[in-house]
Structure 1
C-alpha cells in the first residue's frame, strides 16, 4: 500500500491530474543489482495533463489521480501535500497501477506531489510535480473558538461556534477532523456537536492542573460541500490553574471545597426549597458577577422579593448562583429555603468569591431537583458519561445530544 503520512482530514481533490508513468530504462549499480541503483528520473515516462506552468490552476473539487499505463512498471509510493504541510490522503491499488486521493484538496494552495515507481527489474524511479489550485467561489465557513484567552479552572470546555449550520454527517466529519485541540500535559478528549453550529470539546476527565490548552482550525480552503469551504480561524490558548471543586450536599446543607483533592473549607449553606430545588450535577462556573439584583419577577415566583445580592458567582444561564445570603444565616447548615441558589454567610461568600475562578467546578448532590442539562443552560458537559459524550462526535458516528424542546422548557430561571 502507499505510505500516507499524517494529514488533515478534508474532502475530495483537485483537477483530474493523470500522470502516466511509463517504464524507464533499467538503472543498475556497478554490482549489477538494480536495488542498489540511485532512482532514475522518470520525467520522460510521465504524462501530466493537468496545469503545467501555463498559468492555469487545478480545480480543487476534482480528485487527484496518478496512474501507470505500462504493465511492466508500478507505482510504489505517492505523497502529496500543500505548502502549509497538510498531506492529502490516498489509496494505492494492489497492483500498483493507480493511486487516487481520498481526502479533498485545499483551494488557493500549492501542492507538491512525489511519485515513486519501480520497473520490471526493480529499479526505482522518482518524479516530483507541483501545481496550484484555484480560488474558491463558494461561501466560507468560519470558526470562533471560546472562551476568550486566559486562565480557567480545570472544568472549562472549549467551544467552537460555526458561521453557518452544518447538518450532514459527512460534512460534520470534515469540519470536526480539522478542529484540533492539544494540551500540555496531553490528555484524551473529543468534540461533541451541541447543535448544527456549535461544538464543545472536553477531556475524558477534567483538564490537568496548570496545563496549556490550544485550539486551532485546519479548515481554511477545505471543501465542506459544493457551496461551502473552510475559512480562516483565530487560534485560542488558555491555561488552567489548581483543581478547585466545590461540592454541596443539599441533604446535609454543607459545601465542601477541595483544592487539588484536599479539603480547604467546609461551609454551612442553604439550597433550593421544595418547588425550587437546586439542580443536581456538575456545573462549571460561568462568571464572577459580584453584586447582582435578584427579583421574584425574573423567575415568576409567587412570593415577592427584590434583593441586592453580593459576592455572586453564576453557575447557570437561567440564574442559579452561589452567593451571600445574610437573610438566611439561621437556616444555613439546617434547612433549604432559597429559590434555587446556594446561599451562605457574607464572610463565607467573600472567601468563596476570592477562591473560586471561572471554569472551576460547583457540584450539587442529594437535591430534589433534576440533573443539570448537558447543554443550553451553561456548561453541564460533565454530566454526560464519557461513552455518551463520544456519541456526539461526527467521527464516531453519533448524533448531537442537546436538550429536546421538552427539556428546554424545564430550564426555568432560578434566583436567590
Structure 2
C-alpha cells in the first residue's frame, strides 16, 4: 500500500536556521495522513461489477464492500453516461455500500469510491463498466398532444405501451416523467388508468407559457417484465386564456379573453332527457362540417327525437359528440329555451365567430344545467372538474402528502414507494 507512513504522535516541530536567516519548520504539511494525496484503494475494496470486457446484468444491484479490518468506505458515487445518479445506502460502519435504484440497460457507468484506513488516510478508486441488454419487454411512452400552441386548459398526457398496475412500478414511471413550464407553476401527474397519465397544474396554465415534457425512463427497470425506452420530448406553448361560460338556465354564452369579456351570445342547450353536461370541458378540435345523426347517441331511426342534420362550424368538446355549433333550425329558441340533444347551438354567424376564436385546449364551462358533471376521464378532458387535493391523490408520489410538498420533500419524511 503506497501511502504515507503512519504517525501516531507528533511531539514538536524543530526550527531550522538556513542561509539568509530564514526559518522553516521541520514538520511540513505532508507529514499528517489527512493531508496526504489519496492512495489507490483497490486493495481495500471488493466490487461485484463485471471483469474485463464483460457487461453487467442491469437487474443486479451494485455492491462495494470494505476488505480488511483497517479499511472503511466513506463515500460512493455512481453515475451513468447521462449524469444520472444511482441511489444507494452506506452502512454505518462503512463496511458495505449497495445501490437501491435499478440500473439502466446498455449504459456506461462510473463508480467513484472513497475510503480511509485506521489513521484516517484517504483512499480513492474509480471503476467503470457497461450494462448489458435488458431481458424485459420494452415500455414505450408517448407524450401528447402533438407539439404546437394550445389553450390554457390543455393537459399533457403520457400514454404507455403496456399496463403498469403495481404501485412501486408506477412510482418508477412517475419519477422519470418530468413536466416543466415557463413561467413555473405547481403541477402533478394523475393516473387516469393503468396505461395513461395526465398532467395538469393546480390552476390553468399561464397564458403565453412554454411547456416541456421529458422522460428519463430509457433503460430503467420498471418491474420484472418491463424496462423503459427512449421517449421523444414534447414542447408546447399556450396562447391567450380563452374561456367560454355557457349558462344553461339563462341560455347565454359569455366568452372571456384573459379575464375580460369579449362577446356574449344567445344559445340553446340540451333539453330534458338530453341535458348538457355541467362542468369544464376542453376544446378537442374543430370541424367545419359534420353530419350529425341521432343514431350516433342511441336514438333509433323513426323516433320522434331522431335527427339527421348537416352542421357547420362545429367545435368538439367531448368524444361522444358534444359540440358548440351552428343551429339555424332552432333560431327561435336561442336565448329563450333549451331544445338541443346536448350540444350548444347558436346562429351561424355566432358559431363562425366562436369557431375562428377558439383553439384546441381552450375552456368551455357549462353551469346551471340539469345534466351530470363532465367525467374526469374517458370522454375528453374533464381534468379540471376535480379538486387539486383529489388530483394529487391520483399521483403515486404525491398521494398523502401536503399541498406544495414535492416528492423529494415527501421522501425525507416517509420511505420511498
TM-score scaled by length of structure 1: 0.86
Tell me the CA shift for residue 379 of structure 1: 0.5
What is the rounded CA distance, in whole Å, between the counterparts of 1:100 and 1:69 in structure 2?
15
Q: How far does the alpha carbon of each residue in 1:109-152 deviate from its partner, in whole angstroms, 9 at most, with x for none? A: 11001112233333322211101111112211111111111111
What is the rounded CA distance, in whole Å, between the counterparts of 2:94 and 2:261 in structure 1?
64
Tell me the CA shift for residue 51 of structure 1: 1.8
What is the rounded CA distance, in whole Å, between the counterparts of 2:150 and 2:256 in structure 1?
16
Q: Rg larger in 1 or in 2?
A: 2
Match of 1:40 in 2: 39
What is the rounded CA distance, in whole Å, between the counterparts of 1:367 and 1:81 in structure 2?
56
Which one of 46, 57, 64 corresponds to residue 62 of structure 2?
A: 64
Structure 1 gaps of 5+ residues are 1-21, 399-416
Match of 1:55 in 2: 53
1:354 aligns with 2:352: no
Q: How far does the alpha carbon of each residue in 1:302-328 deviate from its partner, in whole angstroms, 9 at most, with x for none? A: 423211111100000010000111122
Match of 2:216 in 1: 218
Greater displacement, 217-226 / 38-47: 38-47
Tell me, what secondary structure is at the counterpart of 1:329?
A: helix
Give the number of the structure with larger relative contact order, counting CA–CA contacts within 8 Å between residues 6 or more apart: 1
What is the rounded CA distance, in whole Å, between the counterparts of 2:53 and 2:28 in structure 1?
43
Match of 1:15 in 2: none
What is the rounded CA distance, in whole Å, between the counterparts of 2:75 and 2:208 in structure 1?
43
Q: How far does the alpha carbon of each residue in 1:350-388 deviate from its partner, in whole angstroms, 9 at most, with x for none? A: 111111000000000110000000001001011111111
Aligned residues: 376
Change in 2 beyond 3 A, CA 1:49/1:367: closer
Q: Moved runs in structure 1, 4+ residues, more than 4 A?
A: 22-29
Greater displacement, 158-167 / 294-303: 294-303
Q: How far does the alpha carbon of each residue in 1:218-252 deviate from its partner, in whole angstroms, 9 at most, with x for none? A: 11111122222112222111111111111111111
Match of 1:396 in 2: 398
Judge conservation of contact 1:215–1:237 (CA < 8 Å) in 2: yes
Tell me, what secondary structure is at the counterpart of 1:394?
A: coil
1:383 aligns with 2:392: no
Match of 1:106 in 2: 104
Match of 2:281 in 1: 283
Root-mean-square deviation (CA, aligned residues, Å) is 1.9
Please list, as runs of the form range in 1=range in 2, the aligned pairs for 1:264-275 lying within 5 A after superposition: 264-275=262-273
Greater displacement, 236-245 / 311-320: 236-245
Change in 2 beyond 3 A, CA 1:46/1:30: farther
Match of 2:173 in 1: 175
Judge conservation of contact 1:27–1:37 (CA < 8 Å) in 2: no
Q: How far does the alpha carbon of each residue in 1:271-304 deviate from its partner, in whole angstroms, 9 at most, with x for none? A: 1111110000000000011111112222233423
TM-score scaled by length of structure 2: 0.86
Match of 1:247 in 2: 245
Judge conservation of contact 1:313–1:353 (CA < 8 Å) in 2: yes
Change in 2 beyond 3 A, CA 1:153/1:27: farther
1:131 aligns with 2:133: no
Match of 1:329 in 2: 331
Which one of 153, 156, 160 corresponds to residue 155 of structure 1?
A: 153
Q: How far does the alpha carbon of each residue in 1:318-347 deviate from its partner, in whole angstroms, 9 at most, with x for none? A: 100001111222211111111100111111
Greater displacement, 105-114 / 327-336: 327-336
